[in-house]
Amino acid sequence: MDERTLSSLIENVKDGAISRRSFIRRLAAVGITAPIASQILAWNDVAMAQASLQYKPTKAGGGGPLKILLWQAPTLLNPHFASGTKDQIAGRIFFEPLAGWDKEGNLTPQLAAEVPTRANGGLSEDGKVVTWKLKQGVKWHDGKPFTADDVVFTWEYAADPATAAYTTGSYTNIKVEKVDDHTVKVIFKEATPFWADPFVGVVGQILPKHHFGEYKGAKSREAPANLKPVGTGPYKFAEFKPGDILTGTRNEDYHVKNQPHFDTIEVKGGGDAVSAARAVLQTGEFDYAWNLQVEDEVLKKMETGGRGKVSAVPSGDIEFIILNTTDPWTEVDGERSSVKTKHPTLSDPKVRQAFNLLIDRDSIQKFIYGRGGRATASFVNEPKQFRSQKLKYEFNIDKANKILDEAGWKRGSDGIREKDGKKLKYVYQTSINAPRQKTQAIIKQACQKAGIDLELKSVTASVFFSSDVANPDTYTKLYVDIEMYTTTQPQPDPERFLNQFTSWEIANKENKWLGRNVSRYSDPEADKAYKAAQKELDPAKRAALLIKVDEIFCEANVILPILSRTRVAASATNLMHDHSGWDVDTWNVAAWYRS
Amino acid sequence: MATYLLRRLLIAIPSLLGISLILFTVLALAPGDPFSEMATNPNVPPEVREALRASFGLNDPIMVRYLRWLSAMAQGDWGFSFASRINVDTLILQRVPTTLFVVGTSQILALCIALPVGIYAATRPYSIFDQIANTLAFVGFSLPTFFTGLLLILLFSIKLDWFPFVYRSDIAATGWRWYWEMFRQAIMPITVLGLFQAASYTRYVRSAVLDVIRLDYVTTARAKGLSEKRVTLRHITRNALIPVVTLVALQMPAVFGGAIVTEQIFRIPGIGSLLIDAILANDTPVIMAVTFVFACLVVLFNLIADLLYGWLDPRISFG
Amino acid sequence: MAGSTLASPSADPAVAGAGAAISVSPGRETWRRFRRHKLAMASAVILGLLILGVVVGPWIWTIPINDIDFSAQLQGPSLAHPFGTDDLGQDILARMMYGGRISLAVGLAAMVVATTVGVLIGATAGMSRKVADPVLMWVTDLFLSLPQLPLLLLVIYLFREQLKAVFGVEGGVFILIVVVIGGLRWMPVARLVRAQFLSLREKEFVEAAKAQGATKLRQMTRHILPNAVGPVIVASTIEVSSAIIAESTLSFLGLGFPPDIPTWGRLLFDAKDHLDTAPHWALFPGAAIFLTVLSINFIGDGLRDALDPRRVI
């Protein structure tokens, strides 16, 4: 189904010429699943069906305690200071955004009365203004009413560089105006096709002005509410010990009827993922454990006890390999892997093509990640309208050998291929994480059979992912031939995510290796398509442009996607929960219940 | 003795300053920064990270940062944690009681096992008792705590379901129930640590007693007709205590510093887990504070050990 | 008071040997006494077999260490795989023999480094009555208080590339690890030796040697050190096992050998998540470490008894 057919179908639904249901059925015929089809409608302003968890309890409270175990402990509760998911999960229990993302990537109103659409006047024609209508009758935990002033304040707070908020990026280039007590306007400088960022999801938690008003800017650290949060969320704050435990009690004035179900909530932190899974699946000490980056075999064995279950939801995170086309072993102007250099062997497209054939993605999925990932050849996989249908992967050692033979890479006496004295010997680096080391081992063995020698290197994650300029082992330095890691796509829209394929984001000495394009590869066509997508308001055309960017990099075999990751969680058998790959696990904790 | 003590205490100040300077330099030069968690998140633009680095003062020269730390420290300001943005002293004080309880108890347990077992084994070298005690000790220190901890969890938490394996600092119970719950959750970590420590203590005690047991004065004491018990306790043990005191003094700072691995396994909110989290997040103010307190304790207990040597063996002098 | 009971000066062989000629050389005498120590002899044989196994074994048992076979995941011991397989279907026996070379070498070398440094520093501090003692104790305190993990990261990041360039990947990492483990573990030995020295240097036999005109160095090496050797032997044998285990921690942090080199500690670490379903994976490396520790300790005991002239064997 090409982009034009899709557009005309959408128009038909809008006009009422075909029904929602038959639209979904037609898309299903070409392999697009129902939730995605309904999302395509939503993106085109056709009212969306609610897809989150069915809430059964008929009264609030009475559910006893809810115990959540995070194997990394939350260290702070102000969501705008939250550096990692663990903190965002903890903060989300007390604070809420205007809207959150459900597991299928639908925007779901939380503190907003409705999701802005072009039909309800929420989105302007030029794509520059978003008008949010706020939910009425919402109270902060201390009884004060929630109003537009709080929303405007949250923007001022996060946008102020002196506040040192991690969410600054979403708020600096916008203006927010109060229209009335329950309406705010978000004004973008440029036409912004993906407008659902400020006040939405992880970065969008609204702070109470009456608690944080005096602590904007440089004094932000001193706010007592940083440690004793007052929000609008389903649970009220009780106690917090950073790095250890967080407790809360039911918010009796919660703004959703009959919610929440549990009387108290507890978030305990620390330890490792495997034992967190044990505490839920084997001993039942806890109800829910998050982000279980554990080999699936281990989880399956734990599940056999019947005390708990494992659930996985799709996300935009991608585990992938970069083949470095610049030379990591020669220093030019004070940096290695400079775009001014060429890799002696990996700059040969044939070598890269052969390498791509040596990755046994199916085995990696089947024997290591299981439900934790899906083998893929595309960098963008979710939401599905942005996934390339063209890219395919293959594991074929014979074919790889043939390609290398034809390209003139001959095996030397040590079995390693070489041409003009240059050997196919590489350093293959990743961060420390058991599944990654196993993936390295599998790829190394296949490469051996094709006459390529890999030296495996693993770097501790806190160093690998740091922005320490002096350290040669950070992932953006790319001082190796081959590198593997996971990168996160935080929203169900890949535009910002794909900026790592643009030429102006190339990491180098000048930008202190903070640029997002780690591969250093660039293509004018990709740049052009990306720039066009940034302004394109037609969702179908925009998706086509972004898919093109993805395909250029994957077809050049510079970026070798391995697995599209899912978020895996364990829960007690009787716990009904709702976690999402596009938002934090507790985004809809109000609707969790015990059956 | 008093002048000696005074002199040692006076030396302690510059030596601690020196240690703090080296600690600070090592931490500042060590690779990594506190922002690794948001590294691959495209929502956090590089400028934000750069601004945060600057606002935490990470871009200043090391000496400037050290002097800033030192002058703040002199005024009782321990700085704030980059990760949780609260004061370091609050953070540490929250953790101290748990660590003192768990690690302290395990040290006492270790000594309670090691002293009698070691002494008894040494008085009867190569007897059945000695052989068994030795073999168990070898098992004890050839298995790392991450392994024995897991073994206990699998056995007592998962197979038998006797004890919980997640340690809670806030038990929701009162009276004897509180003590019971506390006992249930603390027994496994204390056992793991205690036995590991006891294994090496036993070997040292046995060796130290063997060293003195064949000396002539022991034979003399026996010849005088003193009871075997009295000889063992008054004559042998006291002289064999010097290595033991040294080891205990070496271990005492660890009672404050916590046990990183065991605290991780059982999720004990102690100093050890605080330290490892801080190290992995490159939360320098916390690492600096914990290691500096640790350094002070190391110096202090070294001094105490020296004083104890003098008491155990009056001939030792520090001229 | 026990403290005032005197140790006999004349019973010390070093003193006796210093003057008079001896019919049997002390070395042969020690060897004769050591051989009589049955446990020590048995241990020496076991350790010899372990070393032989890891050195010669890979030529006899030729399955490659990284032969991935998904059809043979987590199998228990069988004829094809005497020690079973791990979760990638790799042969554990082959991996243990390969990794054992490194584990044993690291354990023994780190022990030698830690013991040598510890004894040197402890003895010098213990003999000194002037500045050397406070200065060396300051260094010891400093090393005891250094947070090991950041320091390791720093050392590795400063020196890995240089060492790799000179000694190759495995050689460079080996030197680095031995230096790092040894360099961070000598402090207890130093403190123990110093404490022994403080007590021994006041004893009569040392006074006697001094009166006979023995130099400080001679007092140290011939008279005091042999009497302080008990705790040193215990410390250094414990050191072997801690070094083998410490190596696994290092490689888990990415600071040790490349992740595909299966040292014993690393095998144990990898096996821990499968302990309930595939206990054999942990059992064999665990037993290997235990046997090594056991045999080295008994050899230590044997040595100590053989060196102690008061003990009749």
Token pair belonging to C81: 């795989």
Per the CB < 8 A criterion, the answer to whether A36 and A68 are in contact is: no
With pLDDT > 70 as the criterion, what percentage of chain A qualifies? 92
Helix or strand (DSSP H, E) at B289: helix B284-312
Burial class of residue B1, CB neighbours in 10 A (0-12, 13-18, 19+): exposed
Q: How large is the average pLDDT for residues C281-286?
A: 87
Residues of B in contact with A75 (CB under 8 A): 81, 83-84, 277, 281
pLDDT attached to residue C309? 63
Tell me: pLDDT of C7 over 60: no
Closest CA to B293 of B33, B73, B3, B63: B73
The reply to whether A272 touches chain B by the CB within 8 Å rule is: yes
Q: How large is the average pLDDT for residues A260-282?
A: 90
Q: How large is the average pLDDT for residues A261-278?
A: 89
Write the residue in B31, B234, B242 that is nearest to C196 by C-beta.
Answer: B242
Closest CA to A436 of A295, A274, A275: A295
Cα dihedral A326/A332/A336/A339 (nearest 10):
-30
Q: What is the mean pLDDT of chain C?
A: 79
Whether residue B81 and residue A161 make contact (CB cut-off 8 A), yes or no, is no
Which stretches within A185-258 are classed as H helix? 209-212
Tell me: pLDDT of B61 over 80: yes
Q: How large is the average pLDDT for residues C15-34?
A: 60
Prior bond to A561 cis, omega within 30? Answer: no
Q: How large is the average pLDDT for residues B133-152?
A: 84
> Three-class SS of residue A257?
coil
Residues of A in contact with C273 (CB under 8 A): 274, 294-295, 298, 434
Chains touching chain C through at least 3 C-beta pairs below 8 angstroms are A, B
Amino acid at B185: Q
Whole-angstrom CA distances from C214 to B7, B24, B165, C14, C206 are 32, 45, 60, 12, 9
Query: In whole angstroms, what is the distance from residue B213 CA to residue B191 CA?
Result: 31
Whether residue A444 and residue C66 make contact (CB cut-off 8 A), yes or no, is yes
Whole-angstrom CA distances from C303 to A309, C155, C292 are 57, 36, 16
Residues of B in contact with C297 (CB under 8 A): 134, 138, 203
pLDDT grade for A1, boundaries at 50, 70 and 90: low
The reply to whether A467 touches chain B by the CB within 8 Å rule is: yes
Instruction: Of A386-395, B36-45, B207-216, C230-239, give the lowest mean pLDDT range.
Output: B36-45
Whether residue C199 and residue B315 make contact (CB cut-off 8 A), yes or no, is yes
Chains touching chain A through at least 3 C-beta pairs below 8 angstroms are B, C
Query: In whole angstroms, what is the distance from residue A372 CA to residue A375 CA?
Result: 10
Whether residue B165 and residue A275 make contact (CB cut-off 8 A), yes or no, is yes
The reply to whether A286 touches chain B by the CB within 8 Å rule is: yes
Amino acid at A137: G
Q: Helix/strand/coil (H, E, C) string of chain C?
A: CHHHCCCCCCCCHHHHHHHCCCCCCHHHHHHHHHHHCHHHHHHHHHHHHHHHHHHHHHHHCCCCCCCCCHHHCCCCCCCCCCCCECCCCCEHHHHHHHHHHHHHHHHHHHHHHHHHHHHHHHHHHHHCCCCHHHHHHHHHHHHHHCCHHHHHHHHHHHHHHHHHHHHHHHHHHHHHHHHHHHHCCCHHHHHHHHHHHHHHCCCHHHHHHHHCCCCHHHHHHHHHHHHHHHHHHHHHHHHHHHHHHHHHHHHHCCCCCCCCCCCHHHHHHHHHHHCCCCHHHHHHHHHHHHHHHHHHHHHHHHHHHHHCCCCCC
**A311-357 residue pLDDT tens:** 999 898 999 999 999 999 998 888 899 999 999 999 999 999 999 99
pLDDT attached to residue C117? 93
Other CB atoms within a 10 A radius of the CB of residue C171 amount to 12
Q: What is the mean pLDDT of chain A?
A: 88
> What are the backbone angles phi and psi of residue B119, rounded to the nearest 5°?
-65, -45
Contacts of A183 (CB under 8 A, 6+ apart): A131, A132, A133, A134, A148
Q: What is the mean pLDDT of chain B?
A: 83
Strand-strand pairing, A288-289 and A65-70: parallel
Query: In whole angstroms, what is the distance from residue C89 CA to residue C79 CA?
Result: 15
Q: Which residues does residue A517 pair with via DSSP β-bridges, in sequence order?
A: A506
pLDDT attached to residue A382? 84
Residues of C in contact with B153 (CB under 8 A): none
pLDDT attached to residue A15? 62
pLDDT attached to residue A266? 93
Q: Position of tokens 């001939």?
A: B315
Query: In whole angstroms, what is the distance from residue C147 CA to residue A155 CA?
Result: 41
Q: How large is the average pLDDT for residues C152-175?
A: 77
Closest CA to A232 of A371, A97, A430, A351: A97
**A28-84 residue pLDDT tens:** 666 565 545 555 655 555 444 455 678 888 888 888 999 999 988 888 889 988 777
Nearest residue on chain B to A486, alpha-carbon basis: B40
The reply to whether A160 touches chain B by the CB within 8 Å rule is: no
Residues of B in contact with A485 (CB under 8 A): 40
Nearest residue on chain B to A465, alpha-carbon basis: B36
Q: Which residues does residue A132 pair with via DSSP β-bridges, in sequence order?
A: A184
With pLDDT > 70 as the criterion, what percentage of chain C qualifies? 88
Whether residue A274 and residue C273 make contact (CB cut-off 8 A), yes or no, is yes
Residues of C in contact with B275 (CB under 8 A): 147
Q: How far is A458 from chain C (nearest CA, A)?
A: 5
> Three-class SS of residue B189?
helix
Q: How far is C257 from chain A (nearest CA, A)?
A: 9
Per the CB < 8 A criterion, the answer to whether A9 and A18 are in contact is: yes
Closest CA to B187 of B268, B244, B117: B268
Helix or strand (DSSP H, E) at A318: strand A308-323
Whole-angstrom CA distances from A587 to A198, A385, B14, B33 are 16, 24, 53, 29
The residue among A526 and A433 whose pLDDT is bigger is A526
Whether residue B208 and residue C146 make contact (CB cut-off 8 A), yes or no, is no
**A469-494 residue pLDDT tens:** 777 888 999 999 999 999 888 888 89
Whether residue C292 and residue B151 make contact (CB cut-off 8 A), yes or no, is no
Q: How large is the average pLDDT for residues B284-291?
A: 88
Other CB atoms within a 10 A radius of the CB of residue A577 amount to 21
pLDDT attached to residue A39? 55
What number is the ipTM of this complex? Answer: 0.80
Instruction: Of A34-48, A237-251, B38-52, B243-257, give the lowest mean pLDDT range.
Output: A34-48
> Three-class SS of residue A18?
coil
Q: Position of tokens 């899709």?
A: A6
Long-range contacts of B123-127 (CB under 8 A, 24+ apart): B123/B209, B123/B213, B123/B232, B123/B236, B125/B210, B126/C39
| Interface B:C, Cβ pairs < 8 A | 187
> Three-class SS of residue B26?
helix
Per the CB < 8 A criterion, the answer to whether C50 and C284 are in contact is: no
pLDDT attached to residue A4? 65
Tell me: pLDDT of B79 over 70: yes
Tell me: pLDDT of A544 over 80: yes
Query: In whole angstroms, what is the distance from residue B13 CA to residue B9 CA?
Result: 7
pLDDT attached to residue A169? 82
Burial class of residue C123, CB neighbours in 10 A (0-12, 13-18, 19+): buried
Residues of C in contact with B309 (CB under 8 A): 195, 198-199
Whether residue C253 and residue A455 make contact (CB cut-off 8 A), yes or no, is no
Following DSSP, what letter does each residue of A550-575 receive, concatenated?
Answer: HHHHHHTTSEEEEEEEEEEEEEETTE
Tell me: pLDDT of B170 over 80: no
Closest CA to A491 of A201, A291, A206, A91: A201
pLDDT grade for A246, boundaries at 50, 70 and 90: very high
